[in-house]
Amino acid sequence: MLLADKSVIITGASRGIGRAAAIECARQGANVVIGYSGSPSSRAAVDELIQEIEALGRRAVAVGAPAEDPDTGQLLVDAAVEQFGGVDVFVNNAGICPFHSFLDMPRQTYLDTVNTNLNGAFFAVQAAANQMKRQGRGGAIIAVSSISALVGGGMQTHYTPTKAGLLSLMQSCAVALGPYGIRCNALLPGTIETDINKEDLADQKKRDYMAGRTPLGRLGRPEDLAGPLVFLASDMAQYVTGASLLVDGGMYVNLQ
Ligand SMILES: NC(=O)C1=CN([C@@H]2O[C@H](COP(=O)(O)OP(=O)(O)OC[C@H]3O[C@@H](n4cnc5c(N)ncnc54)[C@H](O)[C@@H]3O)[C@@H](O)[C@H]2O)C=CC1
Ligand SMILES: C[C@H](O)[C@@H]1OC(=O)[C@H](O)[C@@H]1O
């Protein structure tokens, strides 16, 4: 097992990529703090996830708190310390992408996206890093960035800068935290079928176009990210920091 007895925090773990990551971390021996928005509508999914993790013989606790709140990171860390004795891995995954055109972007849509995806992440990563430093045994921090950190999207002008920001945050944190043995890396998914793009991909033409751009011939599934994420979290990646791992079925390199 690659994460035996590790204490892992994952934000936005109620569904999608975060959920698949939580299950794979547990399968690899970790106990998991499940960060979720705190909305009552997510609670049933979170309870189901806890049961699934417990069925794997591991422990899980849920912390409901909005990603955009600068105090949320510390709440997650406190839960990990109290329940599992510390933090070994912190995964910043929570995110939103409300597709919208640029020229008439509502101010609040822009602010919500930046606050949820990037500003909250900064404070959460800071809280996790301080705990790891206190523990003195290093750690791994992973930000779920995106292929959108590298390329643009006309309906994503508020979103792509947050993903580029997360990539940059991991690069700078790798420098700042390397002396403490804390590795910081970015995971860059391509187009993965989840709730975040359900509406967008309901357009069959768009869906076919996105799948057609992908050399591996299909859109991604949340499980496709789980293995690469566990790799970055584990000692298999002990000399990997400041890196970005693109997991996109080859979409990015497919020009013609
Ligand atoms: N699905 C895709 O094609 C890609 C997704 N990503 C990123 O992966 C991450 C996970 O997204 P998916 O699993 O695809 O979508 P999803 O919509 O299924 O999951 C997003 C998660 O974030 C949580 N979340 C949203 N707003 C929150 C808030 N204010 N506070 C706390 N939690 C909040 C949701 O409850 C959910 O658990 C996001 O950061 C997204 O930007 C990156 C590249 C591609
Ligand atoms: C939400 C999008 O479909 C998805 O998110 C990203 O980061 C990429 O742009 C994907 O296509």
pLDDT band at 20 (very low <50, low <70, confident <90, very high): very high
Minimum-distance ligand 2 atom for the alpha carbon of 153: 9
Q: Which residues are within 8 A (CB) of 48 and not within 5 positions of it... i.e. 6 or more apart? A: none
User: What average pLDDT score do residues 186-208 get?
Assistant: 97
Which residue's alpha carbon is nearest to atom 5 within ligand 2?
191
Tell me, in angstroms, the distance from the centre of ligand 1 to residue 177's CA.
26
83-103 pLDDT, tens digit per residue, is 999 999 999 999 999 999 999
Asked whether this complex has an ipTM greater than 0.95, the answer is yes
234-256 pLDDT, tens digit per residue, is 999 999 999 999 999 999 999 99
- Determine if ligand 1 sits within 6 Å of the CB of residue 144: yes
**Per-residue model confidence (pLDDT) at position 145:** 99
CA neighbours closer than 13 Å in the CB half-sphere of residue 89: 34
- Determine if ligand 2 sits within 6 Å of the CB of residue 200: yes
User: What average pLDDT score do residues 74-88 get?
Assistant: 98
Domains of the chain: 7-246 (3.40.50.720)
Q: Is 159 a catalytic residue?
A: yes
- Alpha-carbon gap, residue 72 to 120, rounded angstroms: 8
Q: Which of 6, 36, 42, 163 is catalytic?
A: 163
Q: What angle do CA 118, 227, 121 make, to 5 degrees?
A: 10
Tell me, in angstroms, the distance from the centre of ligand 2 to residue 43's CA.
25
SS (H, E, C) the chain: CCCCCCEEEECCCCCHHHHHHHHHHHHCCCEEEEEECCCHHHHHHHHHHHHHHHHCCCCEEEEECCCCCCCHHHHHHHHHHHHHCCCCEEEECCCCCCCCCCCCCCHHHHHHHHHHHHHHHHHHHHHHHHHHHHHCCCEEEEEECCHHHCCCCCCCCCCHHHHHHHHHHHHHHHHHHHHHCEEEEEEEECCECCHHHCCHHHCHHHHHHHHHCCCCCCCECHHHHHHHHHHHHCHHHCCCCCCEEEECCCHHHCCC
Which residue's alpha carbon is nearest to atom 15 within ligand 1?
196
- Determine if ligand 1 sits within 6 Å of the CB of residue 185: no
pLDDT band at 133 (very low <50, low <70, confident <90, very high): very high
pLDDT band at 79 (very low <50, low <70, confident <90, very high): very high
The pLDDT mean for the chain works out to: 98
- Alpha-carbon gap, residue 96 to 87, rounded angstroms: 25
143-183 pLDDT, tens digit per residue, is 999 999 999 999 999 999 999 999 999 999 999 999 999 99
- Determine if ligand 1 sits within 6 Å of the CB of residue 189: yes
- Alpha-carbon gap, residue 67 to 62, rounded angstroms: 14
Which of 41, 68, 93, 117 for mutating ligand 1's site (highest number of atoms within 8 Å of CB)? Answer: 93
Q: Is 146 a catalytic residue?
A: yes
**Per-residue model confidence (pLDDT) at position 29:** 98
31-52 pLDDT, tens digit per residue, is 999 999 999 999 999 999 999 9
